[in-house]
Amino acid sequence: MNARTMLKYGLASMLYKAVSWKQKLPCRAVIKSFNKKFPKAKYTSWQRMAGTVWEAAFLWQDKEHTALFDESGLWLETHTYMPLGNVPIAVRESFRNENTPEALVKVFQLKTPQGTYYEFQIYKGQDPLKMGYDAQGKRIENSIL
């Protein structure tokens, strides 16, 4: 590859990054990683989160999801809303042993490279709270969520 061709590719890459930033779209590496992990995802919208993290909200396999990717395209996590009845029994029982069903607002399945977790959004009095459990129903620190 000669210097002129390398210069063209370099300028094209810089232009693509500038346009992506202006349009609030992630770089090619993020989009490529997203498409590989979630083939045939529909209605995808992107939002830049804190720092260099991108969030995609989308419909995939008839469910609503949000997924986080870093700027290099590395998948960080996926949140999927789910009804309480679809949560594994061990997780449901652990939650019910600590809370009343009336306190429950939402349940999300959280997948990360480290494993699958379940996040329960509840109200204790007037205060919103997140409670997390691993796939076996063991309570986890909220800092993991």
pTM for the full model? 0.75
Cβ atoms of residues 79 and 49 within 8 Å: no
**pLDDT score at 145:** 45
Q: List per-residue pLDDT tens for the chain, 145 residues long.
A: 666 665 555 555 555 555 445 557 999 999 999 999 999 999 999 999 988 899 999 999 999 999 999 999 999 999 999 999 999 999 999 999 988 778 889 999 999 999 999 999 988 878 888 999 999 999 997 644 4
Which residues are paired to 109 by β-bridges?
80, 118
Give the CATH fold of the 26-144 domain.
Nuclear Transport Factor 2; Chain: A, (3.10.450)
C-alpha 44/C-alpha 60 separation (Å) is 9
Rounded-to-10 torsion of CA 38, 43, 47, 49: -40
Domain residue limits, the chain: 26-144
